Amino acid sequence: MRLDLDTIRSADRRIRPYIHRTPVLTSSRLDEASGASLFLKCENFQKIGAFKARGATNAVFLLNDVAAQRGVATHSSGNHGAAVARAAKLRGIPAHIVMPSNSAKVKICAVEGYGAHIVFCEPTEQAREVACADAIAKTGATLIHSFENENVIAGQGTAAVELLEEVPDLDLVMCPVGGGGLLCGTAVAAKSMRPKIKVIAVEPANADDAAQSFRAGRRIVTQKKFTIADGLRTNVGEPNFAIIQRYVDDIMTVSEEAIVSAMRTIWETMKIIIEPSAAVPYAAIQEAKIDVSAKRVGIILTGGNVDLDALPWNL
Amino acid sequence: MRLDLDTIRSADRRIRPYIHRTPVLTSSRLDEASGASLFLKCENFQKIGAFKARGATNAVFLLNDVAAQRGVATHSSGNHGAAVARAAKLRGIPAHIVMPSNSAKVKICAVEGYGAHIVFCEPTEQAREVACADAIAKTGATLIHSFENENVIAGQGTAAVELLEEVPDLDLVMCPVGGGGLLCGTAVAAKSMRPKIKVIAVEPANADDAAQSFRAGRRIVTQKKFTIADGLRTNVGEPNFAIIQRYVDDIMTVSEEAIVSAMRTIWETMKIIIEPSAAVPYAAIQEAKIDVSAKRVGIILTGGNVDLDALPWNL
């Protein structure tokens, strides 16, 4: 996979007309609590409410015209499906989004709102892949995988480029890890722009395949327990793990309680809405899993799509 | 009362070191839904989580040294108490905050956190005033009234100054009205900086004394029904009503359902946390109480202090 700062900067120019340059917020109260200077990159304010708009837009606009006309396809129960649907609409091409039949209604509406064709399937990983392969066989659409696609990864890396352009002298950058698309883009961008920076990934203890793999030095696929951070249930991808081994400094895990507590702290302190997955890096700081005192720390807040009728502190 | 753009600009310079210049956010989705261009002044991101930090800071820092040493006092169940406590701490003087004994614990903690002396009283308007007068008699503290004090009003007007500096060509500016401190400061600042601008106030139908007074041409004090917009239960003050008659173009009312719906729309669309009172102006737009099509509309989002355990759509 060719993934370097040049491909990420190209992605940045390509997607610029279609995405927000999101703000970087600070909080004196969070700084006091952590002893660090925190810089929060607000991808919860991004188009479709999550960083996923970046990678999907880059991948869709990189297709040549012949392939593009046949459309794009993906399987996703979450933000990536909406991101691909929106990018396809912007390019004026068909999108086939495979979603589990038990997907939240708000997520189905979002994808429908962009005019995509939805294919419902049983809520298993295998059913999703079969339904997606089927749609591709019928239509000739191109698969836009949510984290293994190199153009998606390059697009996700543009958030870190913007963050480091705005705050160049960071000591470390933190983001959550699920499949590894955001982490790989972030790590390559950050280490290329600032070689001395540390890149720290955080994942729920209930879905700790990346941390296990990192320690073992080989990719380990695990059966996942439930985690409130539903965006992070996926196992790290093969190509992603190779990049992680090369560029990431550490991967740590946090408890479910810490994730909910960190999410609530950020809501109450900063008055911004973030989804549970976005709270995972701050949970590691709040739980003192990492010493950030006197450090300048960039954190990518990945998204803000939550069901206000089912907030975790009400469950 | 001497209240003009000069006094508001002086307040702006005075409080600058102590408050945030809050961002003005826009939303393509809210613009589509309303047919207008909306500019949302985010006082939910302000110190203490509400615009009240502005007026209290101005009033506390305007005291001469002799008066200041005797301290300040106020009665408030909400954001103004925290704002006075914080301003007093910044100036290094005592603050006596009278709060109803049934105040939310989080509000009590906020005031305590600034080192203020809390006086608890029965939850009636009369008991609050008696307890406050008593504290003043004992200590010689200066009363900082939450909306009748002219220095408080001048301070609240600085939010509109910032808004119009950032977006000069607004057709109208909207804010909620309770006691009238924010509305008066906003109206004087906006009409002075841009004489053709319309100033529209909105209040809950369940607390519509300002709208009744405006139509009658004289100040009417009403018994209030419950409203979720707890910051707006107060009757408009005497000095405030005189300014409102001179500077405000209209006052409209909205239902409780519209307030909750507008609050939820802004949370979901913009991923920011605002309190019910802050949603009141957008409720008038969403309920089509006002035609804003093709207009450039400034809205002051007054604050973001909500109890996440008691959100209105879960009640």
Residues A227 and A109 in one domain: no
Alpha helices in chain A (DSSP H): 5-15, 28-34, 52-62, 65-70, 79-91, 105-113, 125-139, 150-156, 158-166, 181-193, 209-216, 238-247, 256-270, 276-286
Q: Which residue, A143, A174, A193, sits at the end of a domain?
A: A143
CB contact under 8 A, B271 and A49: yes
Nearest to A271 among B264, B268, B272 (CB): B272
Residues A185 and A303 in one domain: yes
Reduced to 3 states, what is the DSSP secondary structure of residue B40? strand
Catalytic residue among B34, B37, B77, B103: B77
Looking at residue A63, what is its pLDDT?
Answer: 98
Instruction: Name the residue range of residue B300's domain.
Output: 5-51+150-314
Residues A287 and A309 in one domain: yes
CB contact under 8 A, B313 and A313: no
Residues A192 and A299 in one domain: yes
Looking at residue A308, what is its pLDDT?
Answer: 93
CB contact under 8 A, A309 and B309: no
Q: Mark the ranges of chain A whose per-residue pLDDT is less than 50.
A: none
Q: Which of B27, B271, B306, B315 to mutate to test the interface with A (most CBs of A within 10 A)?
A: B271
Residues A115 and A182 in one domain: no
Angle between helices B181-193 and B5-15 (to 10 degrees): 110
Chain A segment 2-61 residues within 8 A of B by beta carbon are: 23, 44-45, 49
Q: Mark the ranges of chain B whose per-residue pLDDT is less than 50.
A: none
Angle between helices B209-216 and B238-247 (to 10 degrees): 60
CA distance linking residue B111 with residue A158, whole number of Å: 42
Question: Looking at the predicted complex, does its ipTM rise above 0.85?
Answer: yes
Q: How many domains does chain B have?
A: 2
Q: Which CATH number fits the domain that encloses residue B29? A: 3.40.50.1100
Q: What share of chain B is helix, strand, coil (3-state, %, to 5)?
A: 50, 15, 30
Looking at residue B264, what is its pLDDT?
Answer: 97
The DSSP bridge partners found for residue A203 are A253
Q: Which residue, B143, B175, B201, sits at the end of a domain?
A: B143
CA distance linking residue A180 with residue B161, whole number of Å: 45
Q: Which of A32, A109, A267, A271 to mutate to test the interface with B (most CBs of B within 10 A)?
A: A271
CA distance linking residue A244 with residue A220, whole number of Å: 13
Q: Which residue has the tokens 């910044």?
A: B90
Residues A222 and A123 in one domain: no
Q: Residue B73: in which H helix or E strand, if any?
A: strand B72-75
Residues A203 and A310 in one domain: yes
CA distance linking residue B178 with residue A36, whole number of Å: 39
Reduced to 3 states, what is the DSSP secondary structure of residue B151? helix
Give all strands of the β-sheet with A172-176 in edge-to-edge order: A24-25, A37-42, A296-301, A172-176, A198-204, A250-254
Residues B102 and B232 in one domain: no
B contacts of A308 (beta carbons < 8 Å):
264, 267-268, 311, 313
Q: CA B229 → CA A121, A140, B97, B205, distances in Å?
A: 44, 54, 22, 11
Size of the A and B interface in Cβ pairs below 8 Å: 39
Residues A100 and A201 in one domain: no
Residues B234 and B101 in one domain: no
Residues B31 and B61 in one domain: no
Residues A125 and A155 in one domain: no
* Full-model pTM: 0.94
User: pLDDT per residue over B147-179, tens digit each?
Assistant: 999 999 999 999 999 999 999 999 999 999 999
Q: Which residue, B120, B143, B166, sits at the end of a domain?
A: B143
A contacts of B49 (beta carbons < 8 Å):
271
